[in-house]
């Protein structure tokens, strides 16, 4: 049975934000509760900002840049808070990892960083690639084919991981959020939230084009639990536990039980581009 990504965390309006700090681990899990054994609801990656909302026994309830909230252990966060000016300066100058290896300035050792991590502009790069702020701006307003190419390039061999957002492990909406973010388009974290973006399309393959998003539900109430990316040649790309990770499906497939079942749960299509 296909187990899909539903809502992981929730934003609590009206809570006064606290200090802003940087994530200091390559991948930092966001937990549902302040304990390591609780559900991972999402992730952040090194160099991204987290606003502290609450402190409890070595844990911090934080709000990430996409508005998602959850618990993160203090070990994943730098202790020194940033002023608003410092945070703005960091995000405007830090480079965007395409999956790279850098030299740690403290230890002199090499460190691997995932797609999406932010690194200082003067960091010593020994492998992989990065984008600077200007290059990211040039990638805005992409075509659907470019979006699909990015998904295939970076997530082709990615394993399924509930709450994951990187090629080291991702779920359906985590991949979609990261891929669109690489092209300067900030999407919310969950499939249900993503299903409210853009404009609705008719549920017919002749109405879709590469870069559109398809939304599915395995619930009796129809609540969205899965998202996939429309790709060229009547195909879709997604990260699904039923496939063990990243997969490409032919939308018109009639002999594969998995694909037939998946398309039978289709509930909506949206165009964001």
Cβ atoms within 10 Å, residue 14? 4
Pull the structure tokens for residue 94.
């830090």
Is residue 7 predicted with pLDDT exceeding 60? no
- At residue 29, the 3 state secondary structure works out as strand
Is residue 9 predicted with pLDDT exceeding 60? no
Is residue 247 predicted with pLDDT exceeding 50? yes
Pull the structure tokens for residue 101.
């290896």
Q: What is the pLDDT of residue 141?
A: 74
d(CA 142, CA 31): 33
Residue 100 pairs in a beta bridge with: 113, 128
Q: What is the pLDDT of residues 34-50, one digit of tens each?
A: 999 999 999 999 999 99
10 Å CB burial of residue 77 (0-12, 13-18, 19+) is buried
d(CA 113, CA 26): 5
Q: What is the pLDDT of residues 111-163, one digit of tens each?
A: 999 999 999 998 999 999 999 878 877 777 789 999 999 999 999 999 999 99
> How would residue 2 be classed by pLDDT, with cut points 50, 70 and 90?
very low
d(CA 41, CA 10): 10
Cβ atoms within 10 Å, residue 15? 13
What pairing do the DSSP bridges indicate for beta strands 245-250 and 27-31? unpaired
What is the SS3 string spanning 67-111? CCEEEEEHHHECCCCECHHHHHHHHHHCEEEEEEEEECCCCCCEE
Pull the structure tokens for residue 227.
């998202």
What is the set of domains in the chain, with CATH numbers?
20-84 (2.30.30.40), 94-132 (no CATH), 144-271 (3.90.1720.10)
- What secondary structure letter does DSSP report for 241? G
Is residue 1 predicted with pLDDT exceeding 70? no
- Cα radius of gyration rounded to whole Å, the chain: 19
Is residue 73 predicted with pLDDT exceeding 70? yes
- What secondary structure letter does DSSP report for 23? B
> How would residue 55 be classed by pLDDT, with cut points 50, 70 and 90?
very high
What's the average model confidence in pLDDT over 259-265? 96
Give alpha helix (H) positions in the chain: 84-93, 133-138, 144-155, 172-181, 191-194, 257-264
Q: What is the pLDDT of residue 126?
A: 95
10 Å CB burial of residue 239 (0-12, 13-18, 19+) is buried
- At residue 273, the 3 state secondary structure works out as coil
The pTM (predicted TM-score) of the whole model is: 0.91
190 near 173, Cβ under 8 Å?
Answer: yes
Angle at alpha carbon of residue 96, lines to 93 and 101, rounded to 5°:
115
């Amino acid at each position: 049975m296909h187990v899909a990504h539903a809502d992981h965390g929730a934003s609590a309006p009206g809570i006064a934000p606290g200090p802003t700090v940087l994530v200091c681990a390559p991948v930092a899990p966001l937990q549902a509760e302040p304990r390591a054994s609780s559900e991972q609801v999402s992730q952040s990656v090194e160099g991204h900002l987290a606003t502290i909302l609450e402190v409890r026994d070595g844990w911090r309830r934080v709000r990430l840049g996409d508005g998602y909230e959850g618990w993160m252990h203090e070990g994943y966060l730098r202790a020194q808070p940033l002023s608003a000016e410092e945070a703005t300066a960091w995000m405007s100058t830090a480079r965007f990892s395409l999956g790279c290896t850098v030299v740690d300035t403290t230890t002199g050792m090499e460190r691997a960083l995932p797609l999406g991590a932010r690194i200082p502009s003067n960091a010593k790069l020994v492998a992989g690639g990065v984008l600077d702020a200007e290059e990211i701006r040039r990638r805005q307003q992409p075509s659907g084919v470019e979006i699909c190419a990015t998904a295939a390039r970076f997530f082709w061999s990615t394993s399924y991981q509930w709450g994951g957002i990187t090629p080291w492990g991702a779920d359906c909406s985590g991949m979609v959020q990261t891929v669109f973010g690489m092209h300067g388009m900030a999407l919310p974290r969950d499939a249900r939230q993503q299903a409210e973006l853009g404009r609705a399309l008719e549920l017919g393959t002749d109405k879709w084009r590469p870069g559109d998003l398809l939304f599915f539900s395995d619930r009796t109430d129809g609540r969205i639990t899965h998202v996939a990316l429309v790709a060229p040649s009547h195909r879709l790309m997604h990260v699904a536990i039923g496939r063990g990770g990243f997969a490409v499906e032919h939308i018109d497939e009639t002999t594969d039980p998995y694909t037939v079942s998946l398309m039978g749960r289709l509930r909506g299509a949206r165009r964001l581009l």
